[in-house]
């Protein structure tokens, strides 16, 4: 699994002109799933997301997690995070999981994240043409890959 975490002041996802998710302070998580991903990836990544200390404390030092600041989270499926660009100019998405694998994995990821966060997590709509708006706070953007633990 690959994730791009963006610390946001606000974020929303719109599909067909309708806002399907919105948060104020928190994290926008773009999530890429590949065939090799499993429960271990879900558990490790959700734990990392809720505990990563990337929110400022009273001394303006990144020392608080999303749970510490009672922040929200939106998770958007993003198969393009597994783009391979080594050859040519057209990315290959061969490593990205197909919908029959990715959808249940995405839903399980959101479910586990909600349990660890202790509240509802916003989502996009899998496979839809989504418009994602955000106000990146910092900016703080972090990439994580469960296969390399980076």
Point out the residues that are catalytic: 80
- Using CA of residue 119, residue 21, residue 132, residue 85, what is the dihedral sign? positive
CA dist 24 and 143 (Å) reads: 21
Q: Counting runs of H as helices and runs of E as strands, what totals does the chain give? A: 2, 8
CB within 8 Å of 3: residues ≥ 6 apart? 29, 30, 31, 32, 45, 49, 81, 143, 144, 145
């Amino acid at each position: 699994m690959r994730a791009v975490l963006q610390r946001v002041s606000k974020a929303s996802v719109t599909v067909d002109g309708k806002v399907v998710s919105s948060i104020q302070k928190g994290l926008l998580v773009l999530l890429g799933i590949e065939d090799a991903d499993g429960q271990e990836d879900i558990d490790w990544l959700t734990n990392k997301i809720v505990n990563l200390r990337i929110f400022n404390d009273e001394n303006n030092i990144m020392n608080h997690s999303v749970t510490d600041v009672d922040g929200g989270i939106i998770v958007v499926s993003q198969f393009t995070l597994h783009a391979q660009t080594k050859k040519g100019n057209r990315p290959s998405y061969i490593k990205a999981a197909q919908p029959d694998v990715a959808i249940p994995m995405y839903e399980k990821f959101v479910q586990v994240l909600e349990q660890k966060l202790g509240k509802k997590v916003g989502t996009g709509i899998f496979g839809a043409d989504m418009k994602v708006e955000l106000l990146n706070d910092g900016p703080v953007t972090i990439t994580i890959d469960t296969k390399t633990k980076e």
